[in-house]
Structure 1
Amino acid sequence: MFDRRTLTLAIAGGTILAAQSTLVSGVMAQNPASPPGTLTNLDPARVMDMAHAGGSFLLQAARIGMEKAQRPEVKRFAQFEAREQDGIAEAMRIAGHEPGKPTPELPPEKRQAIQRLQTTNGAAFDPAFLEVMNAGHQEALNVFTALQEGNQPPPVKIIALLATNTIREHLILIDTLQNGTR
């Protein structure tokens, strides 16, 4: 018999996935990045904090993309990404795993990426945005894979499983969108 909390998380996770973009079928295994050994060996709470911080970065970038993207499909992707990050944060909250402390200030390279998006306009914006999204999703894939494979409670593993599949889809979509901007 399912624990009601686990079932609620599974339903919430399915809802998150349903809200995501649907990609062309048959292209699921591109970039199956695995986390470095040191990431899976970190304290589980530290990996959770990394997931929250990475989600905060992707959310900030997505909000900028929602305003500044030039191509409708890139703007739509930014909207999907913002909803996904809000959904993952809510699922983590439901699972009882909010950040251990307020999200720390972004590291210098991420602050620079956000500043670059804020100052880039016009035709140069979409390629810059997609580059930032690609790097952020590669990192997120490593972190959520570590959550999935690490010593986490079942609700977190469920969220991580759903997130890694969606992140892989997003990486494929980002690649498709980048090919259209070159």
Structure 2
Amino acid sequence: MKTKSMTLGLMMALLMTGATFAQQNSGNTSSGTTNMVGKESKTEFDNQNKKGAAAVSAVSATSSKLSSADQSLMMEVAKGGMMQLMVSRIAAQQASSPEVRQFAQAEVDEQTGLSAKLQEIASAKGVTLPSEPDAETQTMVTKLQGMSGASLDKMYIQESGVKGHEKLDKVMSKVESSASDASLKGIGKAAHPLVKTHLKVAQQINGKM
């Protein structure tokens, strides 16, 4: 009886250890998700994205006219955002890494919200934003569409995740420091923290590749 009891105890211990190990090492591959995005937990990453989206949504659109300098800044934000949105849509669907897909989807969500707010502000001020991608954006979109697997993941993270966010980081810094219009400056202050977060996380993912 003692031997049988010890055997049952050992089996239960092994089962529990196996379950714990599986939980710790599972990326939830059945659902195509991972518990980490870069070095951030998925929960923390999601929370930062929600906070950023709420900040952008809360910016008020005023009807005061933009100066030519502010119009140029708005166009820079719109151009960079459109590129990020278009290439991230592709990566969210076609990336092979669950981590890259999650990052790309967060970027799609961010840029969709930012684009909607920019359009709201532009409409209030009588400004027409670009409706079509520029040549640089179209070239990258075409290139990504022809890729797959790890090569797509790597290009997306390096070109959009890192380099794209480095450009957006500079643009948002310029908006915060130079824009005279309250709505446009508000966009810079609201969106810049999440741009910095996405740049950091992209650098972390890139470091794993």
Q: TM-score, normalised by structure 1?
A: 0.71
1:76 aligns with 2:102: yes
Offset of residue 141 of structure 1: 1.2
Higher helix residue share = 2
Whether 1:89 aligns to 2:115 is: yes
| Contiguous gaps of at least 5 residues in structure 1 | 1-13, 20-41
- SS of the residue corresponding to residue 103 of structure 1 reads coil
In the alignment, structure 1 residue 109 sits paired with structure 2 residue 144: no
Question: Which contiguous aligned blocks of 4+ residues in structure 1 show a shift greater than 4 angstroms?
Answer: none
Max Rg structure: 2
Deviations 1:80-138 (CA, angstroms, capped at 9, x unpaired): 000100111223344x2359334165443332222211111112111011012122111
Q: TM-score, normalised by structure 2?
A: 0.62
Deviation at 1:145, TM superposition (A): 1.3
Structure 2 unmatched runs, 5+:
1-48, 55-67
Listed as ranges, the matches of 1:156-175 within 5 Å are 156-175=184-203
Q: Which of 1 and 2 has higher RCO (CA within 8 Å, sep 6+)?
A: 1
Alpha carbons 2:87, 2:144 under 8 Å: kept: yes
Which amino acid letter does the alignment assign opposite residue 52 of structure 2? L
Q: 1:125 aligns with which of 136, 140, 152?
A: 152
2:206 maps to what in 1? 178
Quote the RMSD (CA, aligned, Å). 2.3
Report if aligned partners of 1:61, 1:129 keep a CA contact under 8 Å in 2.
yes
Aligned partner of 1:65: which letter? Answer: A
Task: Give the length in aligned residue pairs.
Answer: 145
* Residues 175 and 188 in structure 2, CA contact (< 8 A), matched pair in contact too: yes
